[in-house]
Structure 1
Amino acid sequence: MKGQQNTDFDRIADAIFYLRKNFKTQPSLDDVAGKLRLSPHHFQRMFTDWAGVSPKKFLQYTTLEYAKGLLKETGSSLLDAALDSGLSGTGRLHDLFINIEGMTPGEYKNGGKDLSINYSYAECPFGKLLVASTPKGICYISFFENDKKVFQELKSIFPNATYNQTVDMIQQNALFIFTHDWSQLSKIKLHLKGTDFQLKVWETLLKVPMGKLSTYGQIGEQMGNPKATRAIGTAIGNNPVAFLIPCHRVIRSSGEFGEYHWGDSRKVAMIGWEAAKTDLVNRNDL
């Protein structure tokens, strides 16, 4: 089943790439299914199972018009408006509280010496993940194609740590975010290696609710550094915890989605998936 899930994501990623490239023509179900060499019926069912909405509805969320609409509806105060609107209720991400604890200066300097890190490989709707944790919290989550390469990337961050390939409750709790049942989440803690500035950027990203977007400039305003957009962009690009620290929710002020460390199509998929899921929850609450 896991292998099938990954295959389905690859197909969905291809579909999203096609939709993103051709959104101005609003391609039909037959058009997209034909590109994937699937029957329209099979593609519709597979896509709906994965995203929770039809391809047509998903397209509305993954075009530049959606992003521009979000920015236009709240103007320069998008971040504040998003926070004010909140995501209340037991099934919402608002109930998830994430606490960041930075490495001590000694831990930062010695590359994780005397630090014990557990790591494991997992799968989610967006592909394969490597998840790593210390006794204090999650220290690394990354999408990957090559398990050996991603493990070496983890080791480059903490070159002197001791590594154990094992699944622990900290990792399992973090991965519950993909089950959509956020009411079952306990407090998730993050144990990160970064400068004070990086930690502040990552902490600010956590305030962008699911289904909402922000820009680099608005993140800077929230931090009190409106002119530090370039440094903020660099810190976002160095985010060591995929999805949980939602750097994918930051787009350009023009409304373009921009680049993403783990793949542009994956970023578009996450934005559309979150918007669709949030929309479903909102309609169910009516």
Structure 2
Amino acid sequence: MKLNLRHTLLTATAVILQLAVANSQTHHNHQEHSGKDHKGLSIEALKESNEFPNAKLSISNVTTEPLGADSVKVTFNFDVKNYELTKQTENMPEEHCANSAEGQHIHFILDNKPYQALYKPTNTVKLAKNSEHYLLNFLSRSYHLSVKSPGASVLIKFKIDENGKFVSLPTPKEPMLFYSRPKGDYKGQDAKNVLLDFFVYNAKLSAKDYKVKVNVADTSFTVDNWTPYFIKGAPAGNLKIRIELVDKNGKTVSNAFNPTERTVSIQP
């Protein structure tokens, strides 16, 4: 079940899809059009209310259990401080968007696959023996926007060894980009403002440093500020989104999850 919320938009920033697009002088709003017209679709930066500066998330412990000859059941338990899971996020802004009726939660992203929403501080997954994995977790508002304050996320790398044991590997230091939203199907009012959000790790976005190249439908633009967006007026059907972390020279950062492409369903 989803509710509709209202969000405050930054009025100064908008990326509008059209057949003729003026060249921008800054990386933040640079966009290119590939030829297909989605008249009326726009992308607007979203102001983050309730930054939750004291929110903390950590992994308290991990346990494993045999599951057949080749797999194990791995349970992750989390410690959440200064943040209430299942609570509806307060100070909702003005524009409608998809919201979880179950409230605030944790985004559990294993190997950059579509996240699982955790409303309790625990999760169990099935993993193969002799496998390595990245796991990103971060606190999320009830409307699925990530909490970006220091301490509100945790990234680990680990392996399941040949005996089915959990083994921690060195904490990742390389710049990484993880996809979060949009995800799934958007119907009715939820399709009017579709949240675009990603999570940056070990990299600072700026005009002189790392940037994220974004492609929505047939328009590309580059952002140098870690900001969420609303995709507004998306046409009915499948909507493709692609995100890519690039360095200061515009070259793709090399890692297993970059770039990322997803498709969601829009049913206005």
TM-score scaled to structure 1, two decimals?
A: 0.27
TM-score scaled to structure 2, two decimals?
A: 0.28
Structure that is richer in helix per residue:
1
Structure that is richer in strand per residue:
2
Structure with more relative contact order (C-alpha pairs < 8 Å, separation 6 or more): 1
